[in-house]
Amino acid sequence: MREVFIDGVGMTKFGKHLDRSLTDLMVEAANRALKDSSTPEIEAIFIGAQNPEEFTGEANLATNVADKLGLAGIPAYRVETASSSGASVLEMAFYAVASGRYNRVLVVAGEKMCHLPTSKVTKILAEVIEEYERNSGASMVALAAMVTQSYAHYAGLSKDHLEKILCKIAIKNHRNGALNPYAQFQKEIDEETYFNSRFISYPLRLYDCAPITDGAAALVLTSSRTDVKISGIGHGTDTIAVRHRVHLHHFNAARIAAREAYKMANRSPEDIQFAELHDAFTCFEIIGAEDMGIFEEGKGWKMVEKGITEIDGDLPINPSGGLKSRGHPVGASGLAQAVEIVWQMRGAVSKERQVKRNDIALLHSIGGMSNNNVVAIFEKPGTPMGKGFFFDRKIEDASKHKKDPIRVGEFGILDAYTILNVPPEGFPSPLVLGLVSVPSGHRVLARALNPITFKVGERVFVSKEEDTFYFVRPSTLEKAMLTLRRNLRKLKLSLKWRLR
């Protein structure tokens, strides 16, 4: 494979751009990247976007962007892998240059969402969720909340401890965003603000979730040597249904992508000096760092506590402010991460937000509920090789998931649950959803009959009514069964009496 380097980079400010089209935003980002390049000449355009058709009604986006850039004629393609589209389009462009087909290509990714009401945006975003889970009321935040709970359980974090860690991540990313002129949120937040914000889906608060954002990012890939090289890129998928996964507390797709990227770069996690990770939800930053092999499994939260992930820490994570604070135009985020990494490597950011070591960095982008992920490794050419390829995270065979069980009722273990305060249309609020493992080895997504709080790991009873699974605490169930038995006895007595 030919080596692939990055020439110019650029992006729009992330935030609300109500008066402009997605194409306009992409053209702005593209022109900035071209202006930042050694030459504006390019041979092809690669576009990334998750769902412009439904967000803005803009279809045929690749041609539209090429035409508005005054470049009609040259090849233009669009790549989509849900919320990792910005990273996947970088990957496709990488192969096109690595193959020798093109020497210089423009990569642009963007999304425009702010003009729509939140409920509509949530609905469009939820289309990437597996059908049954979506129809059960699971939104992205609800699934993320259950993953967060599962992680806390695995890592042995108490409810209070988990909250403190998540709060620290939110505060750090807001602090970083406040220093980034391209970030959507340029204000710091404190503990009080965090803890006063409402639960969107317990245990995730408003400040744990990336916002709705408009924006675009762009860069030029070239086969000619520059000061930044993409040395490795990897991609992995997972079962689209979260309930079909072996584990809930880490992401298999992330690990596959990381392994492939390290292998191509002949690097290991210990080579990484800073990273841009997909913190669509605060906890994903820790899970991501663990999946990348950067932090020990189940111990990533300690690095947050120690301040290691801060800009001036030993391993800065999301110096940009991350998706949380820079904003998350879904199809753009993966490429915006690359732009930030290049700026940090070139020392092109203000002194206050410059990471100390900037020779090798890692990007991790998540597609959907972590079922289409991309990892890329960037380095300055000539950076000394470390020990070579090494990656020890366990990877499961995701392909052999089990179908949903069909038994009428059985006991199981509650792997995770969430209280969703803003459920999709047609569902009661709050909606309590749980993932329950049953003895047959299956896991079901079930709805709590009563909106009460549970404990991860507790024993629950699951039953199915039509297509919906419900779960109850056995004590509740036993009470109900007792009542039922009592009623049956009364019925029998009354029948006996009548028959006499």
Q: Which residues bind a second copy (CB under 8 A)?
A: 1-2, 44, 51, 53-54, 57-64, 66-67, 70-82, 88, 91-92, 95-96, 98-101, 127-129, 234-241, 252-253, 256, 260, 367-368, 371-372, 397-401
Q: State the helix-helix crossing angle for 333-346 and 85-98, rounded to 10 degrees.
A: 70
Tokens of 375: 């990892």
Find the shortest distance in angstroms from Cβ 395 to a second copy. Answer: 8
Backbone angle region of 181, left / alpha / beta, with phi > 0 → left and psi within -120 to 50 → alpha: alpha
The enclosing H or E element of 204 equals: strand 204-205
- List the alpha helices (DSSP H) in 432-473: none
107 vs 462, which CB is nearer to a second copy? 107
Of 134, 389, 330, nearest in space to 241 by CA: 134
For the CB of residue 401, give the shortest distance to a second copy in the complex, in Å: 7
DSSP state of 384: P
The one-letter code for the residue type at 141 is V
Distance CA 275, CA 438 (A): 38
Q: 411: buried, middle or exposed (CB in 10 Å: 19+, 13-18, 0-12)? A: middle
d(CA 419, CA 411): 21
Instruction: Give the shortest CB-398-to-a second copy separation in angstroms.
Output: 4
Nearest distance in Å: CB 370, a second copy: 10
Closer to a second copy by Cβ: residue 140 or 432: 140
* Smallest distance, a second copy to C-beta of residue 188, A: 35
Structure tokens at 196: 């006063």
Q: Are 368 and 227 in contact (CB under 8 A)?
A: no
Q: Which is nearer to a second copy, 102 or 454 (CB)?
A: 102
State in angstroms the smallest separation of the CB of 67 from a second copy.
Answer: 5
Name the residue among 122, 111, 182 with its Cα closest to residue 333: 111
Whichever of 2 and 357 has its CB closer to a second copy, that residue is: 2
Read off the tokens for 63: 């041609």
Both tokens of 331, joined, read: 């199809």
Residue 422 phi/psi, 5° resolution?
Answer: -120, 75
Q: 3-state DSSP call for residue 317?
A: strand
Phi, psi of 220 (to 5 degrees): -110, 125
In the bound state with a second copy, the residue whose beta carbon lies nearer, of 218 and 253, is: 253
Comparing CB distances to a second copy, the nearer of 74 and 449 is 74
Minimum distance of a second copy from residue 111's CB (angstroms)? 13
Q: How far is the CB of 124 from a second copy (least distance, A)?
A: 8
Question: SS3 sequence, 232-276?
Answer: EEEEEECCCCHHHCCCCCCCHHHHHHHHHHHHHHCCCHHHCCEEE
Indicate the residue among 76 and 414 with the shorter CB distance to a second copy: 76
Q: Which is nearer to a second copy, 168 or 259 (CB)?
A: 259
Phi, psi of 66 (to 5 degrees): -55, -45
Which DSSP string corresponds to 282-302?
A: HHHHHHHHHHTTSS-TTTHHH
Instruction: Specify the residue, 256 or 311, whose C-beta has the smaller distance to a second copy.
Output: 256
Distance linking the first and last C-alpha atoms of the chain: 91
> What does the alpha-carbon distance between residue 293 and residue 251 come to, in Å, rounded to a whole number?
12
Q: How far is the CB of 433 from a second copy (least distance, A)?
A: 20
Supply the DSSP string of 183-230, one letter for each residue.
Answer: -S------HHHHHHSPEEEETEEGGGB----BEEEEEEEESS--S-EE
Toward a second copy, which CB reaches closer, 186 or 223? 223
Q: How far is the CB of 323 from a second copy (least distance, A)?
A: 18
**Smaller CB separation from a second copy, 99 or 483:** 99
Q: How far is the CB of 97 from a second copy (least distance, A)?
A: 8
